A and B are shown apart, each in its own frame.
Chain A
């Protein structure tokens, strides 16, 4: 059981470059989210999705795009990387609100450095 798989684990970008962080889950979860983790700030929500074809913004969405064409995949795109986007990124998934299982499952994170 793979759970939530994120790739890559590490990435260095130059300012202005674009890239996509991949996230896939094999638990048939409806909900998927992207967070960024910065020192002293915990995890903050970037974008989320309640199902295929549906996405919405979280707390810190600027500079990021997402799409959800399938239940399994939820990629995060950085359109033009900036040093302020240097962070650790986590993808998470969970069942819908109707489920009694409230646990969010996290990927192993991507450490992104923008120089």
Chain B
């Protein structure tokens, strides 16, 4: 079974600085998607960024970017110019390309942003 590991239960960053959240995963498949979701105190799950495994180029969305290392099965999220609104729980998730239903999540990293 595919597993997703987030080894940092908590992280903190100073406002305007950069922070990197780590994620590793285990799979025998070659075609899959990886996601980072943000969960603020409202509980709403918000998609931050996604990466298709067949794409070598790292995905970016404004201040959010990923470092996707397929051979190492690593998928870290970099948040640049951190803002107070970035404070939330962040979940890394994996989904096999041909199974839309079985999304596997990591345990989450709680990010605190200090003013």
Contacts and interface: CB of A to CB of B under 8 A. Distances in A.
Contacts of A2: none
A85 B44 CA distance: 20
Interface of A: 31, 33, 35, 40-45, 48, 50, 56, 58, 88, 90, 92, 94-97, 102-104, 106, 108-109, 111
A45 B102 contact: yes
A81 B10 CA distance: 32
B64 interface: no
Given A102-B33, A103-B50, A106-B44, A43 B101 contact: no
B105 A42 contact: yes
B13 interface: no
B1 to A, nearest CB: 8
Given A94-B100, A104-B103, 17 more contacts: A33-B101, A35-B105, A41-B107, A42-B91, A45-B102, A50-B101, A56-B101, A88-B43, A92-B45, A92-B103, A97-B97, A97-B99, A102-B33, A103-B47, A106-B45, A109-B43, A109-B44
